[in-house]
């Protein structure tokens, strides 16, 4: 396995970086009040980590799972604690910001269609969850309502 990976690692890293670099700007452009966690370029080739204001990561993960999109978060559903990721907190995020995080990890089986599916589904999921959240400001809800007219 190590020999096989050694022979394809550069090509695979480039492929994953291309997928990641399609995903990140698409998500940030499509979803208001969305942010990239970490440096935009100095990051792992297979990593895209976002945060979304006014929603919790656990609800986000469950909603994405219902739409056949896989992701992870550092919230209670994955760590069995209500504390947010200590890494995100040490980066300067507030607790409520860290709770709205979503990690996409790409791998050998990740395809362009997977990225397309995530880009297609994620904005609607975030919009729906924000409409349910008592924390979402009225101006953002108004924008969502105008889009749906």
Active site residues: 77
Interatomic CA distance for residues 26 and 44, integer angstroms: 18
Tell me the three-class secondary structure of 104-146, residue by residue: EECCCCCCHHHHHHHHHHHHHHHHHHHHHCCCCCHHHHHHHHH
Residue 16 and residue 14: Cα distance in Å, rounded? Answer: 6
Strand partners, 50: 36, 102
Could you tell me the CA-to-CA distances from 89 to 43, 83, 95, 122, 136 in Å, in that order? Answer: 18, 10, 7, 24, 22
């Amino acid at each position: 396995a190590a020999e096989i990976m050694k022979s394809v690692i550069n090509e695979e890293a480039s492929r994953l970086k291309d997928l990641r670099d399609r995903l990140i700007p698409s998500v940030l452009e499509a979803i208001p009040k969305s942010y990239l966690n970490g440096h935009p370029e100095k990051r792992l080739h297979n990593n895209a980590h976002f945060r979304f204001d006014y929603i919790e990561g656990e609800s986000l993960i469950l909603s994405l799972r219902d739409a056949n999109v896989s992701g992870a978060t550092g919230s209670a559903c994955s760590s069995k604690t209500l504390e947010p990721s200590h890494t995100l907190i040490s980066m300067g995020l507030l607790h409520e910001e860290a709770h709205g995080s979503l990690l996409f990890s790409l791998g050998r089986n990740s395809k362009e269609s997977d990225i397309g599916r995530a880009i297609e589904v994620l904005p609607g999921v975030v919009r729906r969850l924000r409409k349910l959240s008592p924390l979402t400001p009225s101006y953002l809800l108004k924008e969502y309502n105008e889009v749906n007219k």
